[in-house]
Amino acid sequence: MGIEAGNPQSWVERDAAVVWHGFTQMSTYVENSPIVVESAEGRELVDVDGRHYLDAISSLWVTTLGHRVPELDEAVRAQLDLVAHSTLLGNGSRIVVELAEALARVVPVDDARFLFASDGAAAVEQALKIAFQFWTNQGVAGRTRYLTFGGAYHGDTIGSLSVGAGGFGTDVFDPLRFPVVRAPGFDQPGCIEEACELVAAYATDLAGVVIEPLVQGAAGMEMRPAEEFAALGEACRANDVLLICDEVAVGFGRTGTLFASEQCGLRPDLMALGKGITGGYLPMSATVASARVCAAFDGPDLGERTLYHGHSYGGNALAAAVALRHLELVEEWDVLANVAARAAEFAELMAEQVAPLPQVRAVRQQGLMIGVELAPPADGLRWGRRVSAACVARGVLIRPLGDVIVIMPMLTTTPDEVGRIVDVVAAAITEAATPEARW
């Protein structure tokens, strides 16, 4: 099992020989017992040896309803019978029009327009460029900077990396990052207030403010109360600075509302969507722009007010078809009600079983985004990795962010799965801290 007839190497060895994995040291990849996925059933992944793993990180926060959802599978098949892809540069696609119309009805952006791309980082990058050109097109010079937050993560392209706060080994790219105005991270109470002051102080330099509303995911699930955010929207309006909400991680129901901006009382000028937009099926992202932003780009054909930016696969028809069906299912299945019920169960069980453990410093949760901050007795013990490995050995797939254990179950997760995840995480934390732990 796991080794193809006639090929003596394991799948992991074949993998390491030809695939370069993101954020992964390839010379130690094999030693870290990676799983090689072959298929999926519901919310479980099945590896090449037939072992099942509950996908408690939703395949890096993208899968919402499940793997192999019959309705989503059917949406892809039906679109295959029409067309898989056609370019959106200068021409249209019927399924993309239908998707954009459906999204426009639900996003908290005034009279929304959508510029599609494939990854979250590209959606952020597009938003940065649009915000800059918005001012240039109106003859306003000097709006070249962005205000962003400590702990922020917006993706790995140079622009998105620049507005992000660094870390995760990305400091090597510091010489390539452009400078920003940086407010404190969400781990600092008062960070939003300070950001509002910075907006006023730097107003004429700022093209926009970039924020992850409600939760800074990659920072280790750092959160601020929803009611703190409206002041930032007001500061942007009062100082005529564009507000860019990055909902790549928090969008599509993850935090309990379809978009986190809704809870925060924010109506951004620009918004970045990604990850859950297709339910985790196909790579698609979008930059959402308000009509006011778009109007600044109107002008003569081939004129300089045009946005000269676009990606080959932007608005892919297969991705659009599955995204449209996904949006319908989120409503038809009342997925947000399940998020609320399961989030309440998680909160209760985590408080009982995980938060009291001596190896746990804090448990943070917003909807179905949960971070368990471990309290290792010393640096360099790789507890995050050890706890995750112990979870995987128990059949629950977890990937940490440093010493924060991330739990991102699918939005359709069941009460039984909630119980299983909490049991496994609690047992893994206890085990990883024992001296005889072999991880």
Q: Which residue ranges make up the site for ligand PLP (CB under 6 A)?
A: 119-121, 124, 153-155, 212, 217-218, 246, 248-249, 274
For residues 88 and 123, which CB has a smaller minimum distance to ligand PLP in the complex? 123
CB of 207 to ligand PLP, least distance (A): 18
Which two tokens mark 322? Answer: 């599955």
CB of 251 to ligand PLP, least distance (A): 9
- Rounded CA separation 162/350 (Å): 35
CB of 56 to ligand PLP, least distance (A): 16
For residues 137 and 316, which CB has a smaller minimum distance to ligand PLP in the complex? 316
CB of 275 to ligand PLP, least distance (A): 6
For residues 12 and 211, which CB has a smaller minimum distance to ligand PLP in the complex? 211
φ/ψ (deg, to 5) at 136 = -60, -45
CB of 211 to ligand PLP, least distance (A): 10
For residues 402 and 419, which CB has a smaller minimum distance to ligand PLP in the complex? 402
For residues 196 and 249, which CB has a smaller minimum distance to ligand PLP in the complex? 249
For residues 109 and 249, which CB has a smaller minimum distance to ligand PLP in the complex? 249
CB of 224 to ligand PLP, least distance (A): 15
N-term to C-term CA, the chain = 24
C-alpha 316 chain-centroid distance: 20
CB of 121 to ligand PLP, least distance (A): 3
**Which candidate, 17, 66, 18, 134, places its Cα nearest to that of 333?**
66
CB of 122 to ligand PLP, least distance (A): 7
Report the residue closest to ligand PLP, judged by CB.
Answer: 120
CB of 283 to ligand PLP, least distance (A): 8
For residues 48 and 211, which CB has a smaller minimum distance to ligand PLP in the complex? 211
- Rounded CA separation 53/74 (Å): 25
**Which candidate, 304, 322, 309, 249, places its Cα nearest to that of 117?**
309
For residues 155 and 256, which CB has a smaller minimum distance to ligand PLP in the complex? 155
For residues 195 and 426, which CB has a smaller minimum distance to ligand PLP in the complex? 195
- Do 370 and 350 touch, CB atoms closer than 8 A? yes
CB of 221 to ligand PLP, least distance (A): 11
For residues 272 and 433, which CB has a smaller minimum distance to ligand PLP in the complex? 272
Name every residue whose Cβ is closer than 8 Å to that of residue 346 and which is 6 or more positions away in sequence: 365, 368, 370, 407, 418, 422
- Rounded CA separation 112/215 (Å): 23
Which long-range contacts does 344-353 make (Cβ < 8 Å, 24+ apart)? 345/415, 345/418, 345/419, 346/370, 346/407, 346/418, 346/422, 349/418, 349/419, 349/422, 350/422, 353/422, 353/423, 353/426
